[in-house]
Structure 1
């Protein structure tokens, strides 16, 4: 479907993003991902507006869009918007901040992921624990196992169980057990 409507304009995509139907918003986000190839700055602007309007309001919507509609554009730019999102009282905005960093991890940069992970250690939401743990695991796999282990050495004792479990998923069982014993 996305291929068929790939040339849809931003106003039409916004209409999909504002639709009450979850699947329509997902289609709009996938179209926004495609639009990022043509006009990444406008795409990021429209994406952030949709996030702030509460239209990107489920884990699958965030995960399918944040790295592509926002993260790719932010890679070589000021990333302070991610700090703003991470400080939001809105769960989905915090998740967007973390998941957008996947775009940086694919390029070998774990710095923002690690900084946001540290900032969100005390978050109470399980969906944030999962997102942070997932991005930490990806940082270890894609960028630097040593960076992941260094983060865990410092923070494992304070990490929520789910976050720690996700972050250590690809480590050897004895290493995983040692970090879990720190809790």
Structure 2
């Protein structure tokens, strides 16, 4: 015989699924077959790719943001957890965008801390570059900056998992936007020679952002390190520089 407690638990579970199922259904309605065919190639989800096995239904980011706008206030953290645990890429991306909204609108430090803890507990599902780039600096970077807890990002940078390392360097974007560059330089050097191209690009991108804020800082960093940094990192870092200066770096004349 099914107990009354079991019935209550089942009702609670079913209620948890309602909003998540609505979101999944809404995303499916916006799915485009041509995008579903293209995204696995773009995000390297094929055999041997960095996102091998990731699945896509073909929803564009602007359309995902429409769903996020509709549901982020209604969805709870347990429901976000269910969505974030999905094998479907767009489900996970929407879950993270909703989490960002919740963090940015959180009124108490407890709520912010809960969201950061949630993010770290579920970070194994933040496993592609767009998922990292659209969430890490807005949650982890801001939290680290505002609480002066830079060791949070140092810990991530030291993990073996590449996505954790990318979270760390991308999170320094919040520091860069505030004109603070030391943590970025430290973490870029820490993983400067990581074997994966995605880390080379991330390091170069953040260095370029530093240059957009203060080109003298970028010049000084590159002058010391450019001879030994991966070519991709250098090219990303100098992308916005004057063409003559770019060529000087590329040809080793600095």
Fold conserved between structures, TM > 0.5: yes
Q: How does 1:9-158 map to 2 (within 5 A)?
A: 9-37=76-104, 38=106, 39-51=111-123, 54-76=124-146, 77-142=148-213, 144-158=214-228
Distance 2:193 2:149 in 1: 25
Distance 2:234 2:166 in 1: 17
Distance 1:84 1:105 in 2: 19
Which residue is equivalent to 2:234? 164
TM-score by length of 1: 0.94
Q: Is the 8 A contact 2:68 2:94 kept in 1?
A: yes
Q: Is the 8 A contact 1:121 1:158 kept in 2?
A: no
1:4 is paired with a residue whose SS is: helix
Q: Is the 8 A contact 1:62 1:95 kept in 2?
A: yes
Gaps of 5+ in 1: none
Cα RMSD between the aligned structures?
A: 1.2
TM-score by length of 2: 0.69
Distance 1:160 1:129 in 2: 7
Deviates more, 1:112-121 or 1:26-35: 112-121
Gaps of 5+ in 2: 1-66
User: What does the per-residue CA deviation read over 1:64-91, in whole Å, with 9 as the maximum and x for residues that have no partner?
Assistant: 1111121111113211121111111111
